[in-house]
Chain A
Amino acid sequence: MIDKLVEPCERKAPDYVKKGYVHPVLNRINHWAHAFLIVLLLWSGFQIAFPNAKIFFGVGEAVVTHKVCGVLLLIQMPLWFIYRAVSGRMFWRCLPCPCDFFLCSWRQIKYYLFDIFVGRPHPYDPRELNPMQRITYVSLMLIVLPIAMLSGAVLMWPHAFAWLLARVPIKTVTLVHLIAAFIFLFFIGLHIYLATTGAKPWSYFKAMITGWVDKEELEEYLKHAQTSKEA
C-alpha cells in the first residue's frame, strides 16, 4: 500500500509514444480547438460580466461570441471524451495514480520550487504527463469544465432550467460560473508559462504543433535518468 503512494504507477504507453510521437493529430486538433474556444470564452465572458470594461469589441459582440463558443464547446466536449475513452489515452495517460497525490507530485513541486532554479532537468519523462499535469488535467476536464459548461448552459437557457433556478438562485449559478472562469484564467497563465520551461522556451509548443517530443528535451531527461540509475 505504502509503495503505491511513493512509487509512480506503470503506464502502458503505445509504441509510437515511446518513440517520441506524443501528440497524435486528433489530440493536437482537440488541444488547439479547446484553447481557441476557452480563450474566446474567457475574453468575451469577462466583457459580459464586467460590461463597463472595454476588453472585447463590444458587449453585444461578446454575448454572441460567448454563446457560439459555448455551444461549440458543448459539442466538442463529448467528442473529446469519446476520443479519450476510445483511444485509451484517458486511462494510460491522464488518470492520476495514488502516488500522484503524494510523493510523485511533491517531486514535481520540489522541482518547480527549487530544482528548476539550479538547472536540473525535469524529474519525469517528457513523453508522459507529469503527476501535477495529470491531476490538473483531470480536475479541469472532468470537474471544473463540466461545472462551467453546465452553469453556462443554465445561464444561456435559463427557461429550460426553470426547475433548477426555482431551487438554486441564479446568483449562485453565476458565481459558480465565474469561479470556474477564474480558475481557467489562472490555469491558462500558468499553463502557458510552464510550457516555456522545457529545454528551450519553445520546446513544448513545438511538440504540441508537430506532435513529436523535443529531441533535446528527451535526451536531457534520458541522460539524467541514466545518471540517476547508475547512482
Chain B
Amino acid sequence: MFALLGALVQGQGLHCLACHESVDSLKKYAVEEPEIKGPSEGGGLKGGCGGKPPPLKKWQKLRVSKAFLSGPMGQLGCVKCHGGRDTADFKLAHEGLIPDPSEPGKGREPVCAECHGDIVKHYKKSLHFTVYGQAWTLEVRSGTRGIADSGGCLYSSYRKDCYTCHASCGDCHVSRPKPVKGGLLASHQFLKKPPMKDVCGACHAARTYGEYTGNFGYPADVHWAKGLKECTYCHGADELHGMWNASDRPDSNMHLNRGPKCEDCHAKSSRSNEYHKIHWGKVQCNVCHSMPIRHCFTCHTGYFGDVEDPAKFYRYPEEQKFLFKIGYNAFRDQYHPWRYTQLRHPPNSPHTFDWFKEHYCPERAEVFPHFSALPTWKPGTGHNVQRRTPQTESCWSCHDNPKVWLTEADLKDYEREANAAVINAFRTVFPLPRWSWAKLLGLAWFGFLGLLLLHGIGTWTGRAIARRREK
C-alpha cells in the first residue's frame, strides 16, 4: 500500500496503472489477436515448433497488478523502463512505448543491464538470445559467413524468421515469449524461475516439452512423471543465461560444455548393470533410454499460403513422424564422446527458405549450395527418457534389429550425401547369435565330451585287459 502510494506520489505509473490494473479499461481498449496454432492441435502432428499455451484474452495479457508496484522493479515506475508518458491520454501515453524493454533496440541496451550487467553481457551471446544454432546451420549450408550480424539476403531470412523465435530477458521472467504473442505471466511480477509450461513449453512444445510431459501418446519422461523435475532442474540458469567462457563458440548446444549430462546425477550408474558396463561412454544414454521422438521434415519452405500471417506461414512442416533411430554421432567431441547416438531430424531441406529466396534473394541460384555439408539427421536427446524402453528389452533389440538404425531407406534423395557419415552404423554393431544356437552348441559340446569319455573308458579298459594278458 505504502509502495503504491509512494509510486503515486512520485507520479510514476499513476495513469498507466489506472488502465492496466483495471479490467474494464483493458477490455475496452485491448484488441484481440488471432489464435495461435500449436502442435497440440490435430493430434500432435500438426503445427510448428511452438506450443499453444492456455489461451489468454488480450486484456489478461496486459493486466498489471498493484502488488507489482510494491516490488523493487515496480518502484522504478513504468516510464523508466517502457518509455511513453505517464498520462491519461491513450495515444500520448503509448507514444514511443517500448513493449519489451529487455529487448535491445537501436542504440539501446536492454534495460536489465543497468543492474544485471554481467548476466545480460553473457545472455546476449546465449543461444536463447542469438538463436545462433540456426544461423550457424544457415552459414554452413549456404556458404555465407556472418548471417546473424551483417546484411545480405539471408540476413533477412534469419532476422525475419529464425530470430523471431529468440527470447529476451522479459520473455522468460516477465511475460510469455513473443512467439506465442506474449502475455504477462503474473501481472508483471518478475519471476526468478519462469513457469515451465508457459515459458519453456511455449517455444519448445513440439519437441522437448511435449515429449517431456507426455503429450504425444508416449508416457512422460521419467524425470517428470516420477520426480516432477522442471526444465531448470537440468538446464540451470548458467546454461540458459549463456554464462560460459567467452572463448566457447555460441553456435550450437553441441558445443555447450556446461550443458546437462546424465552423468551429472547418474555417474554411479556406470557399472550398475551389464549394459552400462559395456556401453557407457560409447553409446549415448538416450540410445537405450529414449522412446520414439518427433521428427520434422521440410519446414520453413513457404508453401503454406493459406495462413494469413506472413511471419507464420512458412513454419509448418510438410511431414512429421514419430520414430526412434540410432546412428553415428556426427558431432563427436570431448563433451559428446559417444560413437552412437539417438538421431533427430530437424526440418531442413534444400527448399527451406524458398519463400525468402523468391522475395529477398532472387539473384541466388540456390539458397543452400552446400546443403550436404551438415547432416540432416543430428544427434538428438529425446526428452522422453524411460528406464525401460523397447531397446532395453534385450541385447537383440539393437544388435540384430536394423529397424532402429538409420539406413539409406530412411533418407530422402536430397539428403543422402549429407548423412553419409551418420547412416549404416548397424554395420559396425555385431549381431548376437540367437539363444537357440547356444542350446544347440551346448548339446553338441556335451555330446562330444560324452563320446570322448566313452572312448576313454574303452581305451583304459582295453589296455588293462591287454596288460593282464601279457602278465
A193-B429 contact given A50-B435, A59-B274, A59-B277, CB 8 Å threshold? no
- Across the interface, which residues of A come within 8 angstroms of B465, CB to CB? 118-119
- Across the interface, which residues of B come within 8 angstroms of A189, CB to CB? 445, 448-449, 452
A222 at the interface (CB under 8 A from B): no
- Across the interface, which residues of B come within 8 angstroms of A196, CB to CB? 456
B contacts with A, residue count (CB < 8 A): 36
A contacts with B, residue count (CB < 8 A): 37
- Shortest Cβ distance from B453 into A: residue: A193
A52-B448 contact given A60-B277, A118-B466, CB 8 Å threshold? no
A190 at the interface (CB under 8 A from B): yes
- Across the interface, which residues of A come within 8 angstroms of B430, CB to CB? 155, 158, 170-171, 173-174
- Across the interface, which residues of B come within 8 angstroms of A170, CB to CB? 426-431
- Shortest Cβ distance from B441 into A: residue: A182
A81 to chain B minimum Cβ distance, whole angstroms, is 27
A174 to B432, CA, bound (A): 8
- Across the interface, which residues of B come within 8 angstroms of A190, CB to CB? 448, 452
Q: Are B271 and A117 touching (Cβ within 8 A)?
A: no
Q: Are A119 and B467 touching (Cβ within 8 A)?
A: yes
* Majority DSSP secondary structure for residues of B touching A: helix
Cβ contact of B278, chosen from A49, A63, A120, A171, cutoff 8 A: A63
Q: Please, what's the 1-or-0 string for B356-396, where 1 marks a CB less than 8 Å from any CB in chain A?
A: 00000000000000000000000000000000000000110
Q: Are B427 and A60 touching (Cβ within 8 A)?
A: no
A53-B438 contact given A117-B458, A186-B448, A189-B449, CB 8 Å threshold? yes
- Shortest Cβ distance from B270 into A: residue: A60
Which residues between 313 and 339 of chain B lie within 8 Å of chain A, taking CB atoms? 339
- Across the interface, which residues of B come within 8 angstroms of A63, CB to CB? 277-278
Q: Please, what's the 1-or-0 string for A195-226, where 1 marks a CB less than 8 Å from any CB in chain B?
A: 01100000000000000000000000000000
A159 to B459, CA, bound (A): 51
B252 to chain A minimum Cβ distance, whole angstroms, is 24
- Shortest Cβ distance from B279 into A: residue: A60
Q: Please, what's the 1-or-0 string for A88-131, where 1 marks a CB less than 8 Å from any CB in chain B?
A: 00000000000000000000000010001111100000000000
- Shortest Cβ distance from A197 into B: residue: B459
A153 at the interface (CB under 8 A from B): no
B455 at the interface (CB under 8 A from A): yes
B253 to chain A minimum Cβ distance, whole angstroms, is 26
A49-B433 contact given A119-B465, A186-B445, A189-B452, CB 8 Å threshold? yes
A162-B428 contact given A60-B271, A119-B462, CB 8 Å threshold? yes
Which residues between 39 and 78 of chain B lie within 8 Å of chain A, taking CB atoms? none
Which residues between 441 and 457 of chain B lie within 8 Å of chain A, taking CB atoms? 441, 445, 448-449, 452, 455-456
B160 at the interface (CB under 8 A from A): no
- Across the interface, which residues of A come within 8 angstroms of B277, CB to CB? 58-61, 63
**Count: A-B pairs, CB below 8 Å:** 91
Q: Are B438 and A193 touching (Cβ within 8 A)?
A: no
- Across the interface, which residues of A come within 8 angstroms of B459, CB to CB? 116-117, 197
A169 to B407, CA, bound (A): 14
Q: Are B462 and A158 touching (Cβ within 8 A)?
A: no
A185-B445 contact given A60-B274, A117-B462, CB 8 Å threshold? yes
- Shortest Cβ distance from B442 into A: residue: A53
- Shortest Cβ distance from A158 into B: residue: B428
A166-B427 contact given A49-B433, A51-B432, A182-B441, CB 8 Å threshold? yes
- Across the interface, which residues of A come within 8 angstroms of B441, CB to CB? 182, 185
- Shortest Cβ distance from B438 into A: residue: A50
Q: Are A51 and B274 touching (Cβ within 8 A)?
A: yes
**Which residue, of B461, B462, B465, has the highest number of chain A Cβ atoms within 10 A?**
B462
Q: Please, what's the 1-or-0 string for B155-187, where 1 marks a CB less than 8 Å from any CB in chain A?
A: 000000000000000000000000000000000
Q: Are B435 and A52 touching (Cβ within 8 A)?
A: yes
B463 at the interface (CB under 8 A from A): yes
A62 to chain B minimum Cβ distance, whole angstroms, is 9
- Shortest Cβ distance from A64 into B: residue: B277
Q: Are B452 and A178 touching (Cβ within 8 A)?
A: no
Which residues between 413 and 437 of chain B lie within 8 Å of chain A, taking CB atoms? 424, 426-433, 435, 437
- Across the interface, which residues of A come within 8 angstroms of B278, CB to CB? 59-60, 63
Q: Are B427 and A158 touching (Cβ within 8 A)?
A: yes
Known: A60-B278, A171-B431; 4 extra A-B contacts, CB below 8 A, are A159-B428, A162-B428, A170-B428, A174-B433
Instruction: Identify the A interface with B (CB < 8 A).
Output: 46, 49-53, 58-61, 63, 112, 116-120, 155, 158-159, 162, 165-166, 169-171, 173-174, 178, 182, 185-186, 189-190, 193, 196-197
- 22 CB contacts below 8 A, A to B, read A49-B438, A50-B435, A52-B394, A52-B438, A58-B274, A59-B278, A60-B274, A60-B276, A63-B277, A63-B278, A116-B458, A117-B459, A119-B464, A119-B466, A158-B427, A159-B428, A166-B424, A169-B427, A170-B426, A171-B431, A186-B445, A189-B452
Instruction: Identify the B interface with A (CB < 8 A).
Output: 271, 274, 276-278, 339, 394-395, 424, 426-433, 435, 437-438, 441, 445, 448-449, 452, 455-456, 458-459, 461-467
Q: Lowest 10 A-B CB distances belong to which pairs?
A: A60-B277, A119-B466, A158-B428, A117-B462, A59-B274, A50-B438, A119-B463, A193-B452, A174-B430, A165-B427
